[in-house]
């Protein structure tokens, strides 16, 4: 039998929830910190708005990606969208003759509950390249940005 759903979940989920998503490359291969991968990701993220899916801030690290994404209830599922994103990046990698697999199975996701938690999570994420010793200041990392301003969705 199924356990009853917690009542508080009714007010956590919204019509257009914002998720924090992390996806890692297979065996943590260094594949993603690359200008062509960055361009392919941005093009995919921009096109998704036509399907009521908006990508906010993101950081492409060498072996993983962090991003914020909002999906309208009537749009694709988060799992389907992440699968399509991985497929788009994989296609770019295959075009270079690189062998797969490119991605670990699955991904991590967390629902953002407020604008404050979004800001706090972004502050942590944007410092990843600094903590990894890739740059001295987070603004120097070229493989990051923001496709859509998610604060307009009223987190």
Express each pLDDT in 135-152 by its tens digit.
999 999 999 999 998 864
**Does 16 map to a domain?**
no
Report if pTM > 0.75: yes
CATH code at 49?
Answer: 3.30.70.1290
**Does 87 map to a domain?**
yes
Is 7 buried (19+), middle (13-18) or exposed (0-12) by CB count in 10 A? exposed
Express each pLDDT in 39-77 by its tens digit.
999 999 999 999 999 999 999 999 999 999 998 877 778
**Does 113 map to a domain?**
yes
- What are the CA-CA distances from residue 35 to residues 73, 99, 106, 143 (Å)? 32, 19, 24, 7
């Amino acid at each position: 039998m199924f356990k009853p759903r917690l009542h508080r979940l009714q007010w956590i989920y919204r019509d257009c929830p914002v998720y924090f998503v992390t996806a890692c490359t297979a065996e943590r291969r260094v594949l993603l910190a690359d200008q062509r991968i960055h361009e392919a990701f941005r093009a995919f993220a921009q096109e998704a708005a036509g399907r009521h899916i908006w990508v906010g801030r993101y950081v492409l690290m060498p072996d993983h990606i962090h991003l914020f994404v909002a999906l309208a209830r009537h749009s694709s599922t988060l799992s389907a969208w992440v699968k399509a994103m991985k497929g788009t990046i994989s296609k770019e990698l295959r075009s270079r003759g690189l062998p797969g697999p490119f991605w670990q199975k699955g991904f991590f996701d967390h629902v953002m509950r407020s604008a404050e938690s979004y800001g706090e999570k972004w502050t942590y994420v944007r410092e990843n390249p600094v903590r990894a010793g890739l740059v001295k200041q987070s603004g120097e990392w070229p493989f990051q940005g923001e496709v859509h301003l998610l604060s307009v969705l009223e987190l």
